[in-house]
Amino acid sequence: MWFTRLSIGNPWLATMMMVAFVVLGLFSVQRLQVDQFPDVAFPVVVVQTDYPGASPESVESEVTRKIEEAVNTVSGLRALTSRSYSGTSLVVAEFELTVDPATATQDVREKVAAIRATFRREVKEPKITRFDPADRPIVSIAMTSTGTRSLRELTTLADQIVKKRIENVRGVGQVNLVGGVKREIQIYLNPAQLEALAIGVDQVIAAVRGENQELPVGALRSAAQERVVQIQARAKTPDDFKRIVVARRPNTGSGQPVYLSQVATVVDGQQEQESAALIDGRETLALDVLKAQGQNTIDVVDSIRKAVTAVQRELPPDVKLEVVKDSSTPIRTAVSNVARTMVEGGLLTIRLR
């Protein structure tokens, strides 16, 4: 009660203290991080491993079961579930709530790394991520063309320009392309020619893999300078692939070479489309932007919009970027409603007094 008596005896002091509290509150509220949901860390780790071309049964026996046996030995494990799809293995490890998510992720990563050498060569590097309920796109950007550009051309522009610019924005964690198709050199073998020339499929695969690569050789050093030596033999066009020597005919004196063009058809095509993005029923290319953990959604979205405006000037005139989804809108609305309610509550309190 001493504070009440002090305020009654010194009204100016009480007024100045209240004004100081209000100013301090206004100053602090502008620097508070705002998000739609609280930052809750769940100790759940996901291991995704790609095994291209493998059936679900092969994925289960060659990948999933080995990962399960390794991860099952991690302490604090509560539940372990897995799914084996065509070409993909998915293992989800759920730990007790008392386990630190970062520690659980590191333990799983070490266990998977220990068995990595037992996988077949065709199995890709496992992707180990920590489950985050807020790990969803905060912004979706549609990339369209008013001209005759194909989806493949838009994908190239998005991958080489737009995606890189947005990834450099402060607070952005990841940018995913949805509905894109990338360039792919496709080689269709001719079984009759292979049989006639006594060439196996494995010989063709080995020749293409061996000729299409870039390797560092070393360095040439002298008293005045040092030069880095590299082998740049990566094929860039279908004609480069056609000139690859896949075998040599043993019945000729000089070992006449057999080129890839003699046993296969090389096509400059595109990868199979695995996802699709539609706007008003029209197929388009979308970029989903995920924020980094602990970042302010509103600040990140504002920075992304500025980056989209800047990168639009670097694109051809017929290519347009449009933000079609903005997760900060309901957050802004909720904050505005809270602020208005606070003001109304304060005015009603003063009025009732």
Quick count: other Cβ atoms within 10 Å of Cβ 143? 24
The superfamily (CATH) of domain 139-182+273-332 is: Multidrug efflux transporter AcrB pore domain like (3.30.70.1320)
For 119-173, the pLDDT digits (tens) are 988 889 999 988 776 678 889 999 988 878 888 888 888 888 999 999 999 988 8
334 closest CA partner among 299, 306, 298: 298
Confidence of residue 353 (pLDDT cuts 50, 70, 90): low
Q: Which parts of the chain are beta strand (E)?
A: 44-50, 77-85, 88-95, 127-130, 139-145, 172-178, 183-189, 214-221, 226-232, 245-248, 257-259, 264-270, 277-279, 282-291, 319-326
**Hey, what amino acid is at 137?**
P
Contact 271, 156 (CB under 8 A): no
Which DSSP string corresponds to 32-52? Answer: S---SS------EEEEEEE-T
pLDDT of residue 166: 92
pLDDT at 253 over 60: no
- Please enumerate, as own/partner, the contacts of 164-170 that have beta carbons within 8 Å and a separation of 24 or more: 165/307, 165/310, 165/311, 165/314, 166/141, 166/287, 166/289, 166/304, 166/307, 166/308, 166/311, 168/307, 169/300, 169/303, 169/304, 169/307, 170/300, 170/303
Decide: residue 46, CB within 10 A, 0-12 exposed, 13-18 middle, 19+ buried: middle
The separation between the first and the last C-alpha atoms of the chain, rounded to the nearest angstrom, is: 21
Question: Which token pair is 176?
Answer: 């995913």
Domain spans, the chain: 44-130, 139-182+273-332, 184-270
Task: Write the DSSP symbol of residue 17.
Answer: H
pLDDT of residue 184: 84
Residue 25 DSSP class: H
Angle at 45 between CA 40 and CA 50, to 5 degrees: 140
By percentage, how much of the chain surpasses pLDDT 70? 93
Chain segment 30-58, per-residue pLDDT in tens: 777 777 666 677 889 999 999 988 888 99
Q: Going by CATH, does the domain composed of 184-270 fall within 3.10.450.50?
A: no
Cβ 309 vs Cβ 185: under 8 Å: no
- Give the length of the chain: 353
C-beta of residue 43 within 8 angstroms of C-beta of residue 131: no
In the block, residue with structure tokens 């969803």: 136
What residues contact residue 230 under an 8 Å CB cut-off, 6+ apart?
Answer: 214, 215, 216, 217
Q: Model confidence over 157-171: pLDDT tens digits?
A: 888 899 999 999 998
Q: How far, in whole angstroms, is CA 302 from its chain's centroid?
A: 21
Give me the percent of the chain exceeding a pLDDT of 90: 22
Fold agreement between 44-130 and 184-270: no
Q: Report residue 23 as tokens.
A: 């100013």
DSSP output for 173-224: EEEEEES---EEEEEEE-HHHHHHTT--HHHHHHHHHHHS-EEEEEEEE-SS
pLDDT at 3: 66
**Structural fold of domain 44-130:** Alpha-Beta Plaits (3.30.70)
The H or E element spanning position 23 is: helix 11-29
pLDDT above 80: residue 24: yes
Residue range 267-326, pLDDT digits in tens: 888 887 778 888 877 888 899 998 887 788 888 999 999 999 999 998 988 889 999 988
| Helical (H) or strand (E) element with 263 | helix 260-263
